Amino acid sequence: MRGLAAYRSLGAIDLRNVARDPMLFWIVVLMPAFGLFFRFGTPPITAALEQRLGFDLTPYYPLLMSFLPLVAAGMIGSVVGFLLLDQRDDRTLSALLVTPLSMGDYLRYRFVVQLAVCLVLTWLIVPLAGLTDTTWLQVSVAAAVAAPLAPMYALFIGSFAANKVQGFALAKALGIVMVPCIAAYLVTGPWQTAFGVVPHYWPMKVFWLFDAGATRAALGYALVGLAWQGAVLVWLVRRFGRVVRR
């Protein structure tokens, strides 16, 4: 019951904060536009590249599609990260330490809401993009492996940024971390797994394996990816707790 009450009260506060901040509001509202951009923007770009450079982008559609679950997680995580900065600056988080609502309850609320929103958004934007044939199992498993990236983004920003300006810089830096995954798509053999140190790699690899018809391998990679992301999340939770208690 205490958890449900926390979800109701904290949810109402978050909705007000997002609604009154134009930047956060438009980040949330415009996310489905990514799917439409991929659907209607990629084919003309593909045709132009083929005509002018003789480069066929079509074989790389699975790579492009695999970015969409990461986009959903990254944007939601960044929004929550900025909310954490606001609540850290106004000492709301410090006040939680002396209330019946524990820091653990607060973080569980954050995790559950972010994971749920990421799943819903991924189910929405991947079919909207429609560059490759996808199944609900493929989308669901890729979404489940990408969703933990949202609390990772939020905790990283909330732990290491001193203000929103630094938060923007860190959010951009986290986006750049996805770049090595492009190289991973081009690497074959055991060396590709070395990119697994980057948490973004795992949902993308799962998407690629499903696209290649390797369902069993995709599920195995999903479990390994979730285990690695869980370890990173534990470290970030501890780091965030130390920052709040300063």
Q: What is the pLDDT of residue 85?
A: 83
Give the model's pLDDT for residue 80: 85
Q: What is the pLDDT of residue 1?
A: 45
- pLDDT, tens digit, for every residue of 171-218? 888 878 888 888 888 887 777 888 889 999 999 999 999 999 999 999
Indicate the pTM of the whole model.
0.87
Residue carrying structure tokens 């949330």: 28
CA atoms of 49 and 129, how far apart (whole Å)? 19
pLDDT at 14: 67
Residues of the chain with confidence (pLDDT) below 50: 1
